[in-house]
Each structure stands twice: as structure tokens, then as C-alpha cells.
Amino acid sequence: MKLIRFGEAGAEKPGVLDQEGRIRSLEGKVADIDSSILGDEALEELKAIDPTSLPLVDEGVRIGACVGNVGKLICIGLNYSDHAEETGNPIPEEPIVFAKATTSICGPNDDIEIPRGSVKTDWEVELGVVIGKRAKYVSKDEALDYVAGYCAVNDVSERAFQTERSGQWIKGKSHDTFAPMGPWMVTKDEIADPQNLSMWLDVDGKRYQNGTTQTMIFDVTTIVSYLSQFMTLMPGDVISTGTPPGVGMGIKPEPVYLKVGQKIEMEVEGLGRQSQMTIEARP
């Protein structure tokens, strides 16, 4: 099942994709695609609904972030062996954990703002994991029991803010529009193996990232279990699990960073495609 949110920013409505890839409205069935419907029982009730019985949504409608009211957006850094190599960093012995402010979340095709004073805004195609039920001190063996589904995330980053302005990475990760999410959340039953998904990202039609979740250092089960040792994961929390090589800061001989007026396209296998334009930061 592919769950989607559509409509104006801040007023998104719940929906589901039918077999033809058309959006069907879930208005009147659920209030939103959020923590209230991400548990196993609630998802089973949604799966029992015949999508053809639901009203069609007009083509061309804006698509919002696939999960609403996200409580925590937790990210894993340097989690692909080939990405760690391109940045000149050693393979981490434990997951590198940081956060993005939830105000950075936006729709998969919304414009991405280049922050004021930015000189190193970068891209990162990533697999997102959506938590479906409360997880605390979870073992690796049971970790996937706490996952509702998966989505694509662009972990946009301002590298100078992140690494050259002192303090935590969160400063370079949290500008508005720095976490396009979606276009839809795919329930876990439709993803046979989250460790065997291809992913790519283009800027202005040039392929920069072309990787696979097979090269993740810490897999999804490890990440969910690990995080649950330090914090309680709640329904609707999203984990962005790291990026393969090809980010702007790793380009040789000179890094390449985003400027206003560029087009980003990206896709994670089975999780849909995103397309964004870069714009100047708004007040």
C-alpha cells in the first residue's frame, strides 16, 4: 500500500495510490497519514478498503510530505562504505546519529531554498524508515516489527554550516525545505528487502549519485535497534538512513554545490521519484 498526502502546504489531505498509480482520497476514512494510523491494526483496516471505491483526486495536485506531524526526524551519517570513502572518513564503529528540525520537512516536489549566506548547499538521496509503534530497547531480531513503512528522503545539507561553524551538524541540516519526503510511504509488506534498493540523484540532468542500500554499513534492523537504546521511537518518527557516494562535497577534483535555479531529481527503488527546483531563501 502506498499512502500519500496531497493539497496545499499545511492543509494536506490523506490519500492512497490505486493500481494505476492514481491518487484516491481517504478523507472521511482517516484524518491524516500520521501516528494515528501507522500501527499494524490501523494499516490492515486501510488495506481492506477497495481503492476504486474512493474518490479520485485531480491530477496535478500538490503532493505533501508523506507523513504528517512527524515527531522526530533522526538521521544516520556516513552510513555507506563508499560514501565514507569519498569523504575521507573512516568506517564508523557505531552509527553516527544527528537530527534535522521537523520544520525542514516539505513535499517531494517543493522548491528547495538556498539559505542566506550559503556557499555549500548539498544533496543526499536516502532511504527513510517510518516508525509504526513505540520502540524502546528493541532487539535487531524484532526491529522490523516496529517499522510501518519506507519513503524517499533528500537530506539536503549546508556543509559550511554543518562542519565549519562549530557545534552540532543540526545547524547545517535544518533549514526550511531541507527534508523533502515522499512522494508516498510504502508499507513494509511491499518492500521485500530494504537492503536491496537502488537509488539515484541527478542535478540538471547529470547523474551524481547512483547507489544501492546494499552498501549500508548499518542496516535498517541495526539502526532501529540501536536508536531504541538511547531514545524511545514513537509512531510517526522518521529515520533517514544515510546516502551513497556522489554528494557534492565528494566530487573530485573540486566539490560541486547547489545554486539558485537548478533542478534536482531523485528516486529510491519502489519508493517514488522527487523533483525540486532551487530558489532563494524566503523570509
Cβ atoms within 10 Å of 189's Cβ, excluding its own: 11
Give the residue extent of every domain in the chain: 67-280
Mind listing the pLDDT tens digit for each residue in 103-153? Answer: 999 999 999 999 999 999 999 999 999 999 999 999 999 999 999 999 999
Residue 88, pLDDT > 80, answer no
What is the distance in angstroms between the CA of the first residue and the CA of the last residue of the chain? 37
The percentage of residues in the chain with a pLDDT greater than 70, rounded to a whole number, is: 100
Residues 34 and 246: their CA atoms lie apart, in Å, by 32
CATH architecture of the domain 67-280 equals Alpha-Beta Complex (3.90)
CB atoms within 10 A of CB 257: 21
Please report the pLDDT score of residue 87 as a whole number: 75
Please report which confidence band the pLDDT of residue 91 belongs to, taking 50, 70 and 90 as the band edges. confident
Range 67-88 average pLDDT: 89
This model's pTM is above 0.85: yes
Cα–Cα dist 200/126, whole Å: 9
Instruction: Supply the mean pLDDT for the chain.
Output: 96
pLDDT tens digits, one per residue of 243-266: 999 999 999 999 999 999 999 999
R_g of the chain, CA atoms, integer Å: 18
Confidence of residue 83 (pLDDT cuts 50, 70, 90): confident
Q: What pLDDT, on the 0 to 100 scale, is given for residue 90?
A: 85
Q: How far apart are CA 207 and CA 32, in angstroms?
A: 35
Give 160's DSSP letter: H
Which of helix, strand or coil describes residue 248? helix
Whole-number Å distance between alpha carbons of 74 and 104:
12
